[in-house]
Chains A and B, each alone.
Chain A
Amino acid sequence: MTAPLLQIEGVSKAYPGVQANADISFQIGEGQLHALLGENGAGKSTLVKIIYGLVKPDTGRMVLRSEAFAPASPSEARRAGVAMVFQHFSLFDALDVAENVALGMENPPPLRDLAQRIRTVSEEYGLPLDPNRRVGDLSAGERQRVEIVRCLLQDPKLLIMDEPTSVLTPQEVEILFKTLRKLAQEGTSILYISHKLDEIRALCDEATILRGGRKIATCDPREKTARELAELMVGQVLHPPERDARARGDVVLQVDELSLNSNHPFGTSLKGINLKLHAGEILGIAGVAGNGQDELLLMLSGELRAPKRAVTLKGQPIGHLGPGSRRKLGLVAAPEERLGHAAAPDMSLTENALLSGASRKRLTRNGFIDWRGADRFAREIIARFDVRTPGTQVLARALSGGNLQKFVIGREIEMNPDVIIVNQPTWGVDAAAAATIRQALVALAAQGAGVLVISQDLDELLEIADSFAALNEGRLTRVRSAKGLTVEEIGLMMGGAGDMHVAHEASA
C-alpha cells in the first residue's frame, strides 16, 4: 500500500459543554473516495473545519503527504492543496460567477482570463457555467457547480464535500458522482460527508463513521447494508413509522389557480398552484431547495396573503386571512427555519408554546396571559414528543436542532388541527427524533387531519406520503398517488419534466 495522502492522528476538540471531537484517527489514501458518516452533532463539521484550517484542534496532529499539516487559516490549507465545497454555500449573491470564484482562490488571474478558464474547466467536467451570471439568479445545482469549479481551478489534492447532494435532484446527483469519480481517477482524493447511506454505498471506497464525537468504525461501505451502516451511525435499532391503510375523507384544503409574487428579491414566485388536500391524507411535496417551497408555506400559513377565494379551508375562503385567524379556523403550520421563524430564539419554551397556542388552547383571557395553562401546554408537548430539556423555562435557542424541531412540530400537532403544513420537518434532525416526528404526522393523519409535508428528503416523502407532487420554479406538478412512484419519476417531476405539461393541457 502506498503512503496515505492525509493522516489524522488523535484529533480532539472541545467546546464549552461539548466534546465535539474525541481522539479521532483515520487516513485518506491518494485518489480515494472517502466517506465521513455521522448524524448531526456527531462531530463531522468540526473535524472538517479542522482540516480546512477554520478551527484549531486541542490535541492531535495531521500529516499531509508525510509532512506535518496544521493550517492556521483556510488560505494556508488551500496552499497545501485542500479545497472545500461547503454545505451552506459560501457564495455571494450580488457578485457574478467569476468574482465568486476569484474570491475563493489564492492568486486569481485577471477576471477576463479567469472567465475563460472557468468555461474550459466547467465543460471538461460536464458542469457548464456562465462566468458572467449573477450568483443570486442561479439554481441550487448551478451554485454548487460554482463552488466545485472554484475548487477545481486550484488543482486540489484533497477535495472536501460537505453534504453536497442535499440540494440536488437525482439526475444532478448522477452528474456530480460522475465528476467525482473522474476526479478520483485523476488522483484527487475526496472526503465526502453525508448521512445519506445509499449515496455513500454507491460512491465511496471507504467510510469512517462518527458518533458523539468519536470514531466508531472505518469500513468498506459497499460490503455493508444500508441498515448496518445506519445502526452504526445511530447506535440503536431503528423502526420505520407504522401506518395502516386509511380512507380518504372530504377535501379540507383547496388552492385554485393561485399565482403569487415572492416577498424576497431572490425568491421564487408561485405560478398557477392547484391542489386539494383530503382529510386523513398525507400529501408530500418534493422539490429542490429554492423552487418555491418557502413561498408555498408562507402562502398556506397566511404570512403571504392571497386573493380571498383562492384558498379554501373546509369550503370556507381563507386566502385573505393572516396566520392567527387561520390557526383559529384549524390550519396550523411549522416552517423550515426553526430558530427565528418557528420559534423565538430568546424566549422560553413556555412563551414559545403560548405564542402559537394562545388562541386554540385558550391561553389568554381578556388580554391577560394564563401562565399556568401555557406552562401546562408546554409540559404536555415535552412529555408527548420526548423533547429533551431541563424544563419549560429554557430558552428555545438552548435546545439542540432535533429537540427544538420536536417541540415546534409537537406544539402544532397538540392543537388538534384540521390541516397541518410542515416544511422540512426533519431537516438537520437526528434519526431517532426524525422517526418520532414522522410517526406523529402519520398518527395525526390517522385521526383525520390533512397533512401537507414539504420536504427535500425523497426517502422521507416516500415513507409517509399517500400522494405526491413536486415544485419546480414555483409551479406545482399534478398530484399523483405515491404508490408505485419510482425515484426516477420523482426526479423528472422535480426537474420540471414528466407529465406536467400534459397536466396543463388537460386542465386547459
Chain B
Amino acid sequence: MILGSINPAVLLAALMVAATPILLAAIGELVVEKSGVLNLGVEGMMIIGAVTGFVIAVNTSSALVGFIGAALGGMVLSLLFALLTQVLMTNHVASGLALTLFGLGLSALIGQGYVGVTPPRTPKLDLGWLSEIPFLGRALFSHDIMVYLTIALVAGVWLFLSHTRAGMILRAVGENHDAAHALGYHVKRVRTLAIMFGGACAGLGGAYLSLIRVPQWTEGMTVGAGWIALALVVFASWRPWRAMAGAYLFGGVVVLQLNLQAAGVRIPVEYLSMSPYLITIMVLAIISSGKARGSLNAPGSLNRPFHASN
C-alpha cells in the first residue's frame, strides 16, 4: 500500500510550511489590489526578499534580523514601483513585469557569493504542552514563529480592511479613486503605503523560502511562487481568509505530490509537478465562478490610472 507510507500529521505540518511563503506574498498583494493598484512585480519582490534576507541572516548569524532585512528589501523594490506608477504615472502592468525581471537579475547579482552557504537556523517556537498533543501537536503546534505570524497577519489584514476607518479609506480609494479624491482623501499616499506593505510581505515570503523552506540560496529559487500568489488573490475574490484557504490548498497539493513521487506512484512526474497549480486554480475558479459574485468584489478602480483633475 503506497499511500500508507504517508503520515498525515507530517503531511499537515509540511503543508503549512509550503503554503506560508505564498500566503505572505498573497496577503500583501491583496492589500495592494484593494487600494486599486495591480503590482505584477510580486515575483521580483519575493526573490529580492529571499536574497537580502539570506545575505543579512548569514552575515549577522540571526534569522530574525534576516527577516527584517528581507521585509525592508522587498519594500525598497516596491518603492521603485510606487515611484514609477504613482509619481511618473507609468502603466501598472508594464512596470510590474519590469520589476519582476529586474528583481530576478538583481538578486542573482547580490547572491553570487552565497550559493551553497547554509543560513542560521530559525528556532522552532516552543509551545510547551501544546506540541505534546498527539497528532495535532506534530501537525499544528511545532512550527517556526513565521507560520504563526503569517496567520496573525491574515487576521490583522482582515480586521484592518473590514473593521477600521483606515481600511475603509483604502477600500474606498480602490473602489472609486475619483470619488475618494473629491472627498479629499490622498489617493497616491494611500496607494504608496499599500504598495510598500505589499513589498514588505512579498519580501518576507521570499525570505521564508531561502531561510526556512529550502533553506539555501539558489538563483531564481522562487520559481513562480509570486505568480501563484497573484492568481490566489484574484481567485480568492480579494478576501483574506479565502486567500489563506487557497494557499493551504496549494501547499497541500505540493506536499502530497512530493510524497506521491517519493512513494513511486506510476504517474509521470511532470503531471504530479503541475498538479498543485492546476488544482488550486480549478478549485478557486469554481468557488469564485458565477459572474456576479467574483467580479463584484473586484476593486472598481483596479489598474485604472488616476489623474488628479486640478
Contact yes or no, B183 A90, CB < 8 A = yes
CB distance from A84 to the nearest CB of B (A): 8
Q: Considering the chains assembled together, what is the distance between the CA atoms of A103 and B179 in angstroms?
A: 10
Contact yes or no, A95 B182, CB < 8 A = no
Known A92-B176, A99-B168; contact A265-B296, beta-carbon cutoff 8 A = yes
Main secondary structure of the interface of B (DSSP, over half): helix
Main secondary structure of the interface of A (DSSP, over half): loop
Q: Is A49 part of the binding interface, using a Cβ–Cβ cutoff of 8 Å?
A: yes
Closest to A71 in B: B184
Closest to A15 in B: B310
Known A102-B168, A265-B295; contact A73-B184, beta-carbon cutoff 8 A = yes
Known A49-B310, A73-B184; contact A95-B175, beta-carbon cutoff 8 A = yes
CB distance from A51 to the nearest CB of B (A): 13
Contact yes or no, A92 B175, CB < 8 A = yes
| Cβ contacts B166-179/A at 8 Å (1 or 0 each) | 00110110011011
Query: Using Cβ atoms and an 8 Å threshold, which residues of chain B touch A108?
Result: 165
CB distance from B306 to the nearest CB of A (A): 14
Known A54-B310, A73-B184, A102-B165; contact A91-B176, beta-carbon cutoff 8 A = yes
| Cβ contacts A271-308/B at 8 Å (1 or 0 each) | 00000000000000000000000000000000000000
Contact yes or no, B175 A74, CB < 8 A = no
Query: Using Cβ atoms and an 8 Å threshold, which residues of chain A touch B165?
Result: 102, 108
Closest to B299 in A: A94
Contact yes or no, B310 A95, CB < 8 A = no
Query: Using Cβ atoms and an 8 Å threshold, which residues of chain B touch A102?
Result: 165, 168
Q: Is A86 part of the binding interface, using a Cβ–Cβ cutoff of 8 Å?
A: yes
Query: Using Cβ atoms and an 8 Å threshold, which residues of chain B touch A265?
Result: 291-292, 295-296
Q: Considering the chains assembled together, what is the distance between the CA atoms of A54 and B184 in angstroms?
A: 8
Q: Is A75 part of the binding interface, using a Cβ–Cβ cutoff of 8 Å?
A: yes
Q: Is A104 part of the binding interface, using a Cβ–Cβ cutoff of 8 Å?
A: yes
Q: Is A63 part of the binding interface, using a Cβ–Cβ cutoff of 8 Å?
A: no
Q: Is A121 part of the binding interface, using a Cβ–Cβ cutoff of 8 Å?
A: no
Q: Considering the chains assembled together, what is the distance between the CA atoms of A103 and B175 in angstroms?
A: 12
CB distance from A415 to the nearest CB of B (A): 33
Residue of B175, B184, B291, B296 with most chain A CB atoms under a 10 A cut-off? B184
Q: Is A55 part of the binding interface, using a Cβ–Cβ cutoff of 8 Å?
A: yes
Q: Considering the chains assembled together, what is the distance between the CA atoms of A265 and B291 in angstroms?
A: 8
> Could you tell me which residues of chain A, from 190 to 245, have a CB within 8 Å of some CB in chain B?
none
CB distance from A184 to the nearest CB of B (A): 25
> Could you tell me which residues of chain A, from 42 to 94, have a CB within 8 Å of some CB in chain B?
49, 53-56, 73-75, 78, 86, 88-94
Q: When A and B form their complex, what is the total count of cross-chain residue pairs whose Cβ atoms lie within 8 Å? A: 62
| Cβ contacts B44-65/A at 8 Å (1 or 0 each) | 0000000000000000000000
Contact yes or no, A104 B183, CB < 8 A = yes
The one of B172, B178, B291, B292 that contacts A95, using a Cβ cutoff of 8 Å: B172
CB distance from B299 to the nearest CB of A (A): 8
Size class of A's contact patch? 20 to 34
CB distance from A75 to the nearest CB of B (A): 5
Size class of B's contact patch? 20 to 34
Q: Considering the chains assembled together, what is the distance between the CA atoms of A108 and B165 in angstroms?
A: 9
Closest to A91 in B: B179
Q: Considering the chains assembled together, what is the distance between the CA atoms of A464 and B292 in angstroms?
A: 39
Q: Is B220 part of the binding interface, using a Cβ–Cβ cutoff of 8 Å?
A: no
Q: Considering the chains assembled together, what is the distance between the CA atoms of A101 and B141 in angstroms?
A: 44
Contact yes or no, A74 B183, CB < 8 A = yes
CB distance from B239 to the nearest CB of A (A): 13
Query: Using Cβ atoms and an 8 Å threshold, which residues of chain A touch B183?
Result: 74, 90, 103-104
Q: Considering the chains assembled together, what is the distance between the CA atoms of A49 and B308 in angstroms?
A: 13
CB distance from B199 to the nearest CB of A (A): 25
Query: Using Cβ atoms and an 8 Å threshold, which residues of chain A touch B172?
Result: 92, 95, 99, 103
Contact yes or no, A93 B184, CB < 8 A = no
Q: Is B297 part of the binding interface, using a Cβ–Cβ cutoff of 8 Å?
A: yes
| Cβ contacts B228-272/A at 8 Å (1 or 0 each) | 000000000000000000000000000000000000000000000
Closest to B185 in A: A103
Contact yes or no, B184 A53, CB < 8 A = yes
CB distance from B32 to the nearest CB of A (A): 17
Query: Using Cβ atoms and an 8 Å threshold, which residues of chain A touch B299?
Result: 94
Contact yes or no, A75 B179, CB < 8 A = no
CB distance from A345 to the nearest CB of B (A): 13
Closest to B238 in A: A94
CB distance from B31 to the nearest CB of A (A): 16
Contact yes or no, A86 B182, CB < 8 A = yes
Q: Considering the chains assembled together, what is the distance between the CA atoms of A85 and B178 in angstroms?
A: 14
Query: Using Cβ atoms and an 8 Å threshold, which residues of chain B touch A91?
Result: 176, 179
CB distance from B21 to the nearest CB of A (A): 30
> Could you tell me which residues of chain B, from 184 to 239, have a CB within 8 Å of some CB in chain A?
184-185
Q: Considering the chains assembled together, what is the distance between the CA atoms of A86 and B297 in angstroms?
A: 25
Residue of B169, B172, B296, B300 with most chain A CB atoms under a 10 A cut-off? B172
Closest to A94 in B: B175
Closest to B163 in A: A111
Contact yes or no, B169 A94, CB < 8 A = no
Contact yes or no, A93 B171, CB < 8 A = no
Q: Considering the chains assembled together, what is the distance between the CA atoms of A54 and B182 in angstroms?
A: 7
CB distance from B80 to the nearest CB of A (A): 28
CB distance from A440 to the nearest CB of B (A): 32
Q: Considering the chains assembled together, what is the distance between the CA atoms of A182 and B295 in angstroms?
A: 42
CB distance from B291 to the nearest CB of A (A): 7
Query: Using Cβ atoms and an 8 Å threshold, which residues of chain B touch A75?
Result: 184
Contact yes or no, B184 A74, CB < 8 A = yes
Contact yes or no, A93 B182, CB < 8 A = no
Query: Using Cβ atoms and an 8 Å threshold, which residues of chain A touch B291?
Result: 265
Query: Using Cβ atoms and an 8 Å threshold, which residues of chain A touch B310?
Result: 49, 54-56
Closest to A53 in B: B184
Q: Considering the chains assembled together, what is the distance between the CA atoms of A75 and B296 in angstroms?
A: 30
Q: Considering the chains assembled together, what is the distance between the CA atoms of A53 and B185 in angstroms?
A: 12
Query: Using Cβ atoms and an 8 Å threshold, which residues of chain B touch A90?
Result: 176, 178-180, 182-183
Q: Considering the chains assembled together, what is the distance between the CA atoms of A93 and B174 in angstroms?
A: 11
Query: Using Cβ atoms and an 8 Å threshold, which residues of chain A touch B176?
Result: 90-93
Closest to B184 in A: A74
Q: Considering the chains assembled together, what is the distance between the CA atoms of A216 and B300 in angstroms?
A: 41
CB distance from A29 to the nearest CB of B (A): 27
> Could you tell me which residues of chain B, from 283 to 306, have a CB within 8 Å of some CB in chain A?
291-292, 295-297, 299-300
Closest to A150 in B: B183
Contact yes or no, A94 B168, CB < 8 A = no
> Could you tell me which residues of chain A, from 91 to 125, have a CB within 8 Å of some CB in chain B?
91-95, 99, 102-104, 108
Query: Using Cβ atoms and an 8 Å threshold, which residues of chain B touch A74?
Result: 182-184
CB distance from A114 to the nearest CB of B (A): 11
CB distance from B251 to the nearest CB of A (A): 30
Closest to A104 in B: B183
Q: Considering the chains assembled together, what is the distance between the CA atoms of A54 and B310 in angstroms?
A: 7
Contact yes or no, B184 A94, CB < 8 A = no
Query: Using Cβ atoms and an 8 Å threshold, which residues of chain B touch A88?
Result: 178
Give 13 CB contacts A-B under 8 Å. A55-B310, A73-B184, A74-B183, A74-B184, A92-B172, A92-B175, A92-B179, A93-B300, A94-B300, A99-B168, A99-B172, A103-B185, A136-B296
Chain A residues at the B interface, C-beta cutoff of 8 Å = 49, 53-56, 73-75, 78, 86, 88-95, 99, 102-104, 108, 136, 265
The 4 closest A-B pairs by CB, nearest first: A74-B184, A90-B179, A92-B175, A90-B182
- Given contacts A92-B179, A103-B168, A265-B291, could you give 18 more A-B pairs where the C-beta distance is less than 8 Å? A53-B184, A73-B184, A74-B182, A74-B184, A78-B184, A86-B182, A89-B179, A93-B176, A94-B171, A94-B296, A94-B299, A94-B300, A95-B168, A95-B175, A99-B172, A102-B165, A103-B183, A136-B296
